[in-house]
Amino acid sequence: DIVMTQSPDSLAVSLGERATINCKSSQSVLYSSNNKNYLAWYQQKPGQPPKLLIYWASTRESGVPDRFSGSGSGTDFTLTISSLQAEDVAVYYCQQYYSTLYSFGQGTKLEIK
């Protein structure tokens, strides 16, 4: 099984500042035949279902603000919010879909400092 580990578990950032969340997989999620990383990021606000933000590690879902970006390859990935807004308070999850035994990271709680 592929284990996804996020860091930190929680994060407090001032409004307008950059927030960075890391995700590490226990094995590579890069598929060599198409050079795609099978890694997605989701945002979950209180009382709401998860919402897809980023897929293929760096492709922003339609309608997602461009302050959200994803990067990384292989086993190490990062979600960056370039300028934190109040509405970005949420728990963020990474997920691998390289293996159909899908797995999520434990989540990172993002708050306003």
Q: Under the rule (CB under 8 A), what is the footprint of other proteins?
A: 1, 31, 38, 40, 42, 44, 48-52, 55, 61, 91, 93, 95, 97-98, 100-107
Residue 27 has a CB neighbour count (10 Å cut-off) of 13
Instruction: Pick the closer one to other proteins by CB: 38 or 77.
Output: 38
Residue 75 has a CB neighbour count (10 Å cut-off) of 18
Query: Which pair of structure tokens corresponds to residue 13?
Result: 């950032």
Segments of the chain assigned E as strands? 4-7, 10-13, 19-25, 30-31, 36-37, 39-44, 51-55, 59-60, 68-73, 76-81, 90-96, 103-104, 108-112
Instruction: Pick the closer one to other proteins by CB: 16 or 32.
Output: 32
Cβ 57 to other proteins shortest distance, Å? 10
Instruction: Pick the closer one to other proteins by CB: 33 or 86.
Output: 33
Cβ 84 to other proteins shortest distance, Å? 22
Cβ 10 to other proteins shortest distance, Å? 13
